[in-house]
Homo-oligomer: A and B are copies of this chain.
Amino acid sequence: MTYRVITVSREFGSGGRSVAKELAKRLQINYYDRELVNELAKRSGFGTQFIEEHGDYVASSHSWLFDFSYMGVGSGRSVSDELYLCQRTLIQELAEQEPCVIVGRCADYILRDRTDVLRVFIHASNAFRQERIVTMYGERDEEPSKRLRDSDKRRQAYYKYYTDRNWGEAKNYHICLDTSVIGIDESAALLEGLIHHSS
């Protein structure tokens, strides 16, 4: 099988974004993550900051309530639903348009009916993730363990709401890798090997 699109779902702090970026570089195809934000802002009318905060998970327990209860004027849908629908269309268009790597945003689920998509899930031990978020994003008032817990909960909730699937279940992916054991560059290399072997 030849994979046209690789979707990379990842736990916060697992290095999944780095794996995806490195993989795209090795395969010489485009990588879409924050790159989607500007296009989404243009299409949806939402601000880039709102999209960055809400495009992959609900930002906090406060805005969770806001997201799912507020109805956009005229549409009958919540703002979160509006953003999701806009993302879905964009991701479907991208998959049609060009080979690429897409990070997060339920792309695995959105493209589930395509047979040319490799679905990847990247996770890591909590110790690895805690160290990594402090190195990458700096210290915060909140403990790293709490930051991880909150992020996991939000991603789980977002994923469940839009896909009715459980986040991190192996069956939803073709390959799942633990970067705290396998390594970030090694994971990208392993995926590259798998993709080259299959084409």
A interface residue numbers (CB < 8 A to B): 1, 118, 121, 123, 168-171, 173-178, 181-182, 186, 190, 193-194, 197-198
Q: Which among B1, B182, B190 is the interface contact of A181 at CB below 8 angstroms?
A: B1
Cα distance A190–B178 in the bound complex, in angstroms? 15
Q: Which among B169, B174, B186, B198 is the interface contact of A168 at CB below 8 angstroms?
A: B169
Cα distance A170–B186 in the bound complex, in angstroms? 18
Q: Which among B169, B171, B194 is the interface contact of A190 at CB below 8 angstroms?
A: B194
A178→B182 contact, CB < 8 A: no
* Additional A-B contacts beyond A118-B181, A176-B176 (6; CB < 8 A): A168-B169, A168-B170, A173-B176, A175-B175, A175-B178, A193-B193
On chain B, the residues within 8 Å of A170 by CB distance are 121, 123, 168-170, 173, 176
A177→B178 contact, CB < 8 A: no
Cα distance A177–B191 in the bound complex, in angstroms? 12
| Distance to closest chain B CB from A128 (angstroms) | 12
Q: Which among B176, B178, B186 is the interface contact of A197 at CB below 8 angstroms?
A: B186
On chain B, the residues within 8 Å of A176 by CB distance are 121, 170, 173, 175-176
Protomer copies = 2
A1: nearest chain-B partner, CB-CB: B181
Cα distance A182–B174 in the bound complex, in angstroms? 7
| Distance to closest chain B CB from A159 (angstroms) | 13
| Distance to closest chain B CB from A153 (angstroms) | 14
A123→B175 contact, CB < 8 A: no
A3: nearest chain-B partner, CB-CB: B181
Q: List 16 A-B contacts (CB under 8 A).
A: A1-B181, A118-B181, A123-B171, A168-B170, A168-B171, A169-B169, A170-B173, A173-B176, A174-B178, A174-B181, A175-B178, A175-B182, A176-B176, A182-B198, A186-B198, A193-B193
